[in-house]
Structures are given as structure tokens and as C-alpha cells.
Structure 1
């Protein structure tokens, strides 16, 4: 469970836009309290990815939650998507100003 001092974990997932609906469904099913989605662009091992909401672009999904849940979500993402899709996932400790919301 989240502590009261405002420390939470930010799970960031950058992936192919084609995964957005499926990924958000999985996050909700696994207990994510909410998320933010934005378009993303960049270059990596699979080449340059353009921004946009079409299936050729990338999305950035961010979830702020307790560390235990962030680890659970990231493990699910790795097991179900890493092998077949361009994706990066990372965890960052963050201080939130309204810890009761997370």
C-alpha cells in the first residue's frame, strides 16, 4: 500500500500506438488507479518513430501508484508485450503533492 509521505512510483511505458487500447485495458484490470497518455516520438533500436495518434506512432503512458503495483504492472507489460512490440518501460520514484489520490 502507498505510504502517507507522498512517495510513489511513476511507471512510464513508451510503446507503439497500436497497443494503446489493449494496454490501458490491461492496466485497468490489474488495478492501476489512473493514467496519462500522450503521443511520443523518438529514435531507438527499431529506428525513428513519428508522433501522432495513428498506428505508426508511439504513445507514452504514465501511471503513478504504490511501488508494489508499479512493479506488478511493469512485469505484466514485459511478459505480454516486450517480445513482439517496440516498447520501453521504466520506474521512477516521485513525490506527489496529494498522496491520498494515489
Structure 2
């Protein structure tokens, strides 16, 4: 089984900015992503999705190293000051690497 290395960029943020993030991803060269609902507690308190204002999402993007860091930096510049958002990048092994 052939595997190749890619980066997994994970973003956890407010659901209210999902549509804008999707537009930004397209402009920044992201070709695919997965979005799921997320709940938890952090520096901005409990985010339990009990109502739309407190809903969070988790976005996962598998891509090359350069794109992962570019997207993370763009999000830092555009969103960090005004929205609850964390990002992290991890190494992942992928099959069907042509998909990423």
C-alpha cells in the first residue's frame, strides 16, 4: 500500500463565519474540506451549540505543506482578532494522494 505525506490543517471556529471561510478557501486555493459540528470549552467559555450564536464547527483540510501554512496564516490575519478560532497542522499519511 503506497502512502504519501500531506498536512492536515484543522480549524475550530464559530459556525457564523462558515460561508465566508468557504469563499476564502476557494480564493486561497483549497480544493476540498470537511466541516462538522463541534462542541467544547476553551478560553472563550463553553461552546455547546445550544443556540446558533454559540455553535462551533471543525474544518479539516488535507493538502500540501505550503498551502496548509498559507491558509493558516491568512486565517490568523483575517479572523483571529475578532472570532474564536484555533488552528493546528499535523503530518498525515494519505492513500490516493492525487486527491490532495
TM-score bracket, shorter-length normalisation: over 0.9
Aligned to 2:8: 10
1:101 aligns with 2:99: yes
What TM-score do the two structures reach when normalised by structure 2? 0.93
Aligned to 1:41: 39
What RMSD over aligned residues (CA atoms) do the two structures have, in Å?
A: 1.6
d(CA) in 2 for partners of 1:38 and 1:68? 24
CA contact (8 A) 1:10 1:62 kept: yes
> Which 4+ runs in 1 deviate beyond 2 A?
51-56
Gaps of 5+ in 2: none
Give the direction of change, closer, same or farther, for the CA distance of 1:53–1:9 in structure 2 (3 Å limit): farther
- Give SS of 2:30's match: coil
Aligned to 2:66: 68
- Give SS of 1:37's match: strand
* Counterpart selection for 1:21 from 10, 19, 22: 19
Number of matched pairs: 99
Aligned to 1:58: 56
Q: CA deviation at 1:50?
A: 1.1
